[in-house]
Structure 1
Amino acid sequence: MVRAGLTTERVVAAAADLADSAGFDKVTISALARGFGVKDASLYSHVKNLGDLRTRVALLAAEEFIDRIEAAVAGRAGKDALIAFADAYRTFALEHPGRYAATRYHVDPAIVAEAPAYHRTLRTTSAMLRAYGLTDPDLTDAVRLLRSTFHGFTDLEAEGGFEAARPVQTSWERAVEGLHFLLSNWASATGAKA
């Protein structure tokens, strides 16, 4: 018997919403069941276990994340694309903290290999960076730099880690401007041949 109109999609969406409101680490089968007003066992026909549920939330979050970024960078290149990418990243992370945390959940590599969102993320990020003339291995290093910078900044911001009087938005804009400068001068900065 299907209770409370449950479907796998509804269960995963509710788990993502719970992650945003309570924290990704608070997403449990019991918490979801309470939210739906059903017994835990009612959810097991929709998800195998907690790991499966969290993986499904991670996949949903990865798709929503890249949807936001792709929409922002569409038709842009160079600095304009970098700013749009960075702003979309930051906005998603701050508006959806639980979903954002889910994007960092370790998903089985076999599942990642079959998940379109992860491939789209790599393609979109690489395309943006190729506009700066980057190729591997510099491309990989630049992807890691962007991810580290964006994650570190948004994580600190979300935790209230910026207490100086200077507006956080100004610091964000300066950080992105600094990344643009570095990416524009990557070959000379690293000694790579242009």
Structure 2
Amino acid sequence: MVRAGITAARLTEAAAAMADEAGLEKVTLSALARHFGVKDASLYSHVRNLRDLHVRIALLASEEMTGRIAAAVAGRSGKEALVAFADAYRDFALERPGRYAATQLQLAPEEVADSVGFRRSVELTYGMLRAYGLAEPDLTDAGRLLRSTFHGYVHLELSGGFGHTRPVRESWARSLDALHLVLTNWPSRPDGSNR
């Protein structure tokens, strides 16, 4: 156990690792204090409370996940970018389940105001969708479709919700084929206007 050199960054990294191993719900200040070999009160000079710690994990995870997605989609567009984006998203969720869970927390605007990761995530999503010829409000609608599809899929996969013998990876690839088809043929708005 390490006692010296505790910082908010080290606490956040240790908490994120703990979340990946045991689940985000198991990350407590007491568990973290035990990990560092200190009393709970020692942590309060670095984090305000458990919510603050969870927000810090979410911000760290968002930056890591967005970094992976950005590297995956660089120089790509259309279906190639969609698949790279989706695969990087899914891989991160499967490899870092506790961190991924933290990215799904509902955060207040002031909690993410300075977050490069959250802002860049939106920019990457919209950039990819613009290659399909989408503009607002369709960008937001399509972004929500992608997020709910990706999240629903990985949530079910992480919880063992796919019991059929067909390989999950093959179903994932077909789902991305379907999403590409939907994005390519995005419907006109109810008022009859085009994209």
TM-score, length basis structure 2: 0.94
Which residue in 2 is equivalent to 1:176?
176
The whole-number CA distance in structure 1 between the counterparts of 2:122 and 2:73 is 14
Counterpart of 2:13 in structure 1 is 13
Instruction: Report if the CA contact (8 A) 1:86-1:150 is conserved.
Output: yes
Distance in 1 between residues matched to 2:65 and 2:57, nearest whole Å: 12
**Secondary structure, in 3 states, of the residue corresponding to 1:186?**
coil
* 1:113 has 2:113 as partner: yes
- In structure 2, relative to structure 1, the CA distance for the partners of 1:79 and 1:189 (3 Å cut) is farther
Query: 1:95 maps to what in 2?
Result: 95
Alpha-carbon distance in structure 1 between the residues aligned to 2:131 and 2:103? 26
How far does residue 3 in structure 1 lie from its aligned partner after superposition?
3.6
Deviations 1:130-172 (Å, cap 9, x if unpaired)? 0000001111110000000000011101111111111111100
Describe the SS at the equivalent of 1:125.
helix
Structure 1 residues without counterparts, runs of 5 or longer: none
1:34-183 to structure 2, matched below 5 A, reads 34-183=34-183
Query: Contact between 1:77 and 1:131, CA under 8 Å: does it hold in 2?
Result: yes
Aligned to 2:31: 31
- Report how far residue 74 of structure 1 moved: 0.6
Q: Which amino acid aligns with 2:52?
A: D
Task: For 1:113 and 1:37, locate their aligned partners in 2 and report how far apart those are by CA, in whole Å.
Answer: 33
- CA RMSD in angstroms comes to 1.5
C-alpha displacement of 1:73: 0.4
Cα distance in 2 for residues equivalent to 1:175 and 1:192: 28
Question: Contact 2:3–2:37 at 8 Å: present in 1 too?
Answer: no
For the 8 Å contact 2:16–2:99, the answer to whether it is kept is: yes
**Superposed CA offset, 1:50-107 (max 9, x none):** 1111111111011111011101101100000000000000000000000000001122
Query: How many residues are treated as equivalent by the alignment?
Result: 193
The aligned amino acid for 1:193 is N
The Cα of 1:193 is off from its aligned counterpart by: 1.3
- The amino acid across from 1:29 in the alignment is L
